[in-house]
A and B are shown apart, each in its own frame.
Chain A
Amino acid sequence: MQDIIRLNLPFDKEELKKLRVGDRVQLTGDMLVFRDAGHKRLYQSILDGKQAFEYKGETIYFMGPCPAREGEVLGSAGPTTSCRMDKYTPFMLDNGLLAQIGKGKRSQECIDAFVRNGCVYFAAIGGAGAIYSKCIEKAEVLYFEDLGTEAVRRIWVKDFPVVVAIDSQGNNIYNE
């Protein structure tokens, strides 16, 4: 297997298309962070015709952090289970979202949407909260602050380790 691939965020879509399932990647740059409650509220705002915020060209990391301790930008920050966001995913990929980072398998509807849009699903390493916290250089809450750990954040990361779990051709690590 080849060495670790280094990629910058926001993604260049052509770069994303070159990735293949099982590739080990280190990410540097910025991404959005939110999980269940943030998705639910964003989706509702779209249904209500008043989209709370834009996500075109973005990468979303499904994560709800621990509070920051002294000397930390953000506390422990590993991925949460992605399938709970499956309901919203095809719609978001069809409307310009480039990539998602989480953990665990996805529905066939999601896999089809990754392929249809040339997008990629990355698996972060579940449980590795302390390691991911160390990769975060800056973080800010953007929307839905009242949701606490589930608020929408932007984070800036360096050498953030992930694995390509579903590539743009629909190859799926969880079926290998």
Chain B
Amino acid sequence: MIKINTEYIAKKIGESIDKISCEVEPSCKKAIKDALEKEDNATTKFALQVMNDNIELAIKEHRPVCQDTGMVVVFLEIGNNVILTGELLQKAIDEEVKKAYVSLRKSVLDPVSRKNTGTNTPAVVHTTFVEGDDIKVEVMLKGFGSENMSKVYMLNPAQGLEEAKRLIVESVRIAGSNPCPPVILGVGLGGTLEKATLMSKHALFRKIGSTNPDPVLDALEKELIEQINDLGIGAQGFGGKTSCLGLFIESFPTHISSLPVAINVLCHCSRADSFVIDGKKEGEVCRI
């Protein structure tokens, strides 16, 4: 077995937060540059130029790219040979989130009293178990201008995939300018209500321009991107050629009675990171 200390994992997450608050995910950065080059609408081009300059300035001067430094979402795929030692995982992560957010905006509050927690904690942490000795860590700072535009539908089988497709496109049309387009969409198809939403969030870690390993879903992604770009929303909702930078689908078997569809909207500044903690190198080999 391999022992890995939760405080070590949390420290790496803290470092990741510091980086991605200022550095937009590289495939997303490139997609904005491409959108700028393609655009002809003068007002929209102006907006894209400011967006592109902002992304570059944030990296160069290590400033948060957006003032909404989000809520921290972490996915951990923990190898089944790993034993976690040290503090409880959530507690260790929250401790590092608190430190990282001293210089970032603290946007997290109690939903009833609306009193700010003052530390941007707690982080939203999801864990799954996989084979192996390592831990794959995915970290996202999720802004809520876009999160608020996200949707989940429990369709019936008669409505089927056609209705799911219509609702995905429609959700972007309704969101319009609010989520800071061009948007990136994560879609969860199937499972249960919470499984669909979880997949829709996790899908947002895919790189823009990457291929879905399932050829049917890959074709569906390309079809939906085209339909969304045809809406003409454009950067900032000012009208234009690029309304969607990427669309990623994850699917899971579902019940005979239903077709859950979750749509997680992300703005044009993806602040996401993933890395692997190598159990054999970074952990401690032990016998149990």
Contact = CB atoms under 8 A, between A and B. Distances in A.
Interface of A: 1, 22, 24, 37, 63-67, 69, 72, 75-78, 80-81, 83, 103-105, 123, 125-134, 148-149, 161, 163, 173-174, 176
Interface in B47-83: 47, 50-51, 53-54, 57-58, 61, 63-69
B43 interface: yes
Interface of B: 42-43, 46-47, 50-51, 53-54, 57-58, 61, 63-69, 102-107, 114, 116, 118, 145, 148, 176-178, 180, 236-239, 267-269
Contacts of B178: 81, 83, 103-105
Nearest to B114: A37
B177 A76 contact: no
A78 B148 CA distance: 17
A164 to B, nearest CB: 9
B24 to A, nearest CB: 9
A126 B145 contact: yes
Contact of A130 (B54, B148, B180): B54
B236 A123 contact: yes
A126 B50 CA distance: 10
Contact of B237 (A75, A105, A128): A105
Contacts of B50: 125, 128, 131, 161
Contacts of B239: 173, 176
A104 B54 contact: no
Given A67-B102, A67-B105, A77-B67, 19 more contacts: A22-B42, A24-B43, A37-B114, A65-B67, A75-B63, A75-B64, A76-B58, A76-B66, A78-B66, A104-B177, A123-B177, A125-B51, A125-B236, A127-B180, A127-B268, A129-B63, A129-B65, A130-B61, A132-B67
A76 B176 contact: no
Nearest to A164: B43
Nearest to B233: A174
Contact of A128 (B54, B105, B118): B54
Q: Tell me which of A77, A83, A131 has the highest count of chain B C-beta atoms within 10 A of its own C-beta.
A: A131
Contacts of A132: 67
B237 A174 contact: yes
Contact of B238 (A80, A129, A148, A163): A163
Contacts of A127: 51, 54, 65-66, 180, 267-269
Contacts of B47: 125, 163
Nearest to A63: B67
Contact of A65 (B105, B118, B237): B105
B103 to A, nearest CB: 6
